[in-house]
Amino acid sequence: MADAVHAAWDRIRGLPTRTLAELFADPSRVEKLSDRLAWGEGKTAGGVLFDWSKTHLEDAMLDAFEALAEACDFTGKRAALLSGARINVTEGRAAEHTAQRGVGADTSVEEAMALHARMRMLVEAIHQGTLGEVRHLIHIGIGGSALGPKLAIDALTRDLKLVDCHVVSNIDGLALEQAFAACDPATTLVAVASKTFTTIETMTNAMSALKWLGDNGVADPYGRVVALTASPDKAVEWGVDETRVLPFPESVGGRYSLWSSIGFPVALAAGWDEFEAMLAGAQAMDEHFRATDGRANLALRAAFADQYYTRVRGCQTRACFTYDERLALLPDYLQQLEMESNGKRVTAEGEPVDGATAPITWGGVGTDGQHAVFQLLHQGTHLVPVDFIASIAPGDTLDPAHHAILLTNCFAQGAALMAGGNMAADGKDPARAFPGDRPSATMLCDDIDAATLGALIAFHEHRTFANAVLLGINPFDQFGVELGKKMAKDIEAGGADLALAAFSLFIERNADLA
Ligand code: F6P
């Protein structure tokens, strides 16, 4: 297989570099590289248009990347992922986030449905007052135990909020104090979200939340806690009644866990139907990903472009700008999904990788980015492929001019990056020159609703997996986060000299900096 992979890369690198202007000489380009994923009855409930025409993908390159995918056994690896095989080889686990939305091994799908039924019962019991009046939830978690819920609650509960949710992740006590200030302890629940139920930030915050409840008249603080975890025994041992422990399987990775009981605050805040709609949107993307081969596979095609920019054009970052306030937190979410999955330096077999792996994912919300970082995107020395995500339907009810300006700017930025030009009257001022030929992809949603959010997140999960297959790496472990945690514990255990030793060694080695 290695020879076929090298041969495919040689073929890719040997292709002539053509500009976007040259590629757009093909009148059918937009049609060939834009595809819509729709869902619901008769595919009329909603959809997203995935337009990759303003990237440098073209037929010969797609042929070569399809050969690379074949050499990397993409279809075999995809089948292994979706069948619950232990593809997370370094941890000896499956990666079964798709089973949470009905796509995977039968036993895993059945288990997910049973755990969702348990979660639904608790959510509906809380809504019906079984735990007394509940007006607030403080959701305590970090990384994948916080970013997904935070994104989904922000995106889906702007019009309707059944429970006021505050997601707290940082150990900086100010974060928790800000949530306390907004909540009435008498009507507040606390969700402790931790796959391992050992993460020091989460467990410290949880203890402080219990203290806040007790100090403010709650007789049984533990009685106000719901635990969301893959370690239910630890949650019970910590003091949470097992009827309020919502487990999820060890085979669901933290950054892939929104679909599991980690999504409890989304269901509590937005309603169970919204949570299920989000699962359904993700399932629609899963079905597409499972059934579609080659360049027609939306996530694989995006990975082809990602690999081209990272490994052939030397791009070190990838930007995502969401031209919709409802998706303002999506770039933050994608940072963990993509960088914690593919920020690796060895292959799944433990061999050094033979080139760049994950680029640095960054981004923000439009149009704000235009007034902050787009200067670099247009005239900087770095080539940065940009994803634009927007919605045809507005999220607001103000003058339609708001949404018109938002969308026209989104489309204009992609056009300007591609076309370039010179803004000087005589067209010759170097300071006003735009090189152009800068790539972008556009995801244009019918609207931003629960199903669309689910489909977009699932698309990026599969895009991340497809990139990992083409790179030959394991996207489902994250040993890179362990050394810092260990050193923090060493310092906390009295190893202050360790920190000083490290610092003094740095100073020694960088005396010229002193
Ligand atoms: O340290 C990284 C990490 O393990 C992430 O992968 C995870 O999402 C986060 O910390 C929180 O872990 P847990 O859900 O076990 O508290």
- Ligand 1 pocket test, pick from 147, 196, 238 with the greatest ligand atom count within 8 Å of Cβ, gives 196
Of the listed 43, 211, 402, 485, which one is catalytic?
485
Evaluate the omega torsion of the peptide bond into residue 464 and state whether it is cis, within 30 degrees of 0.
no
pLDDT at 166: 98
pLDDT at 510: 83
Of the listed 41, 133, 349, 371, which one is catalytic?
371
pLDDT at 248: 98
CA atoms within 13 A of residue 313's CA, in its CB half-sphere: 26
User: Is residue 513 scored above 90 in pLDDT?
Assistant: no
The residue whose CA has the least distance to atom 10 of ligand 1 is: 143
What amino acid is encoded at 133 in this protein? E
User: Is residue 447 scored above 80 in pLDDT?
Assistant: yes
- The β-bridge relationship of strands 386-391 and 360-365 is unpaired
Q: Please tell me what DSSP assigns to residue 137.
A: E
> Which residues line ligand 1 at a C-beta cut-off of 6 Å?
142-145, 194-196, 199, 202, 254-255, 340, 478, 481
Using the mean position of ligand 1's atoms as its centre, give its distance from the Cα of residue 145 in Å: 7
User: Token pair 């083409």 is at which residue?
Assistant: 470
Q: 166-197 pLDDT, tens per residue?
A: 999 999 999 999 999 999 999 999 999 999 99
Using the mean position of ligand 1's atoms as its centre, give its distance from the Cα of residue 481 in Å: 9
Least confident of 71-85, 230-244, 408-422, 486-500: 486-500
Q: What is the CA radius of gyration of the chain?
A: 24
CA neighbor of 469 nearest in space, from 58, 45, 71, 50: 71
Q: 40-60 pLDDT, tens per residue?
A: 999 999 999 999 999 999 999
Query: Which bin fits 188, alpha (ψ -120 to 50), beta or left (φ > 0)?
Result: beta
Q: Distance (Å, rounded) from C-alpha 398 to C-alpha 395?
A: 9
**Residue 371 annotated in active site:** yes
Of the listed 340, 344, 403, 460, which one is catalytic?
340
**Residue 485 annotated in active site:** yes
CA neighbor of 209 nearest in space, from 249, 251, 234, 176: 176
pLDDT at 514: 55
CA neighbor of 140 nearest in space, from 264, 14, 301: 264
* CB of 443 closer than 8 Å to CB of 411: no
